[in-house]
Amino acid sequence: MLYCGLVVGVAAGNLAAHGTGLDAFRAFVATLVLIPPSIIGARLLFVVTHWNLYRNKARRIWSRQDGGMAMYGGMPVMLLLSLPLLKLLDLGFGAFWDVGVITIMTAMVFAKIGCLLNGCCAGRASRTWMAIVLPGVTGVWEKRIPVQMLESGWAALLLVAGALLLGRLPFRGALFLVVAAAYAAGRMCLEFLREREPQDTGMPLGHVASLLTIISALAILEIRWPR
């Protein structure tokens, strides 16, 4: 599902680039270059936050049969690496990421369905009407809130909103910031519905990363938005 999301996401981003007048081929190249390091970053963040599982089993870190990625680990890597890459390709930073966020939200729709099928990012046990029988972090099957589908649905809504707002906000990069803040706000709410892992004792990483994303995005919007 991650692969399907990336393929469809790249196609959606290509359409968005054509729609905004961005050089679609260069944007396509930049996206393909940034995808592998983003996956590596997402994997490494997961490994760091679950180091007790990998401390004595280093080979598992890059095992393709051992799942586990954290999306918030991929975004900083992509943003930082895109600075020299986009300069080399003569693409505007804000213009590219307005298109890039369409790719990301499209991929997220599919990736979270993969999480549901794989059993990761499980929701808490519940008897509410929306609960369905799913495995938890320890493999226990019971009725749970389908957090993965809720996040997939939220990404789909943001994708539609992003498509409608594409090229209509007052400065390049504004769409990326708006969608990033909105996604992080939704993710923060959904974190409360997730099942806590046994090693989690403090504030979940998702809450911290979401809060930092919201603050950063809103601060830049406040500074850049025309008065």
> How do residues 148-191 score in pLDDT, each as one tens digit?
999 999 999 999 999 999 999 999 999 999 999 999 999 999 98
Cross-strand pairs, 37 = none
pLDDT at 63 > cutoff 80? no
Q: Please determine, for residue 49, whether its predicted confidence score (pLDDT) is greater than 90.
A: no
Query: pLDDT class for 202, splitting at 50, 70, 90?
Result: low
Q: Quote the CA–CA distance of 115 and 33 in Å, as a whole number.
A: 24
- Domain range list for the chain: 2-224
The predicted model scores a pTM of 0.91
In this predicted structure, what is the pLDDT of residue 53?
77
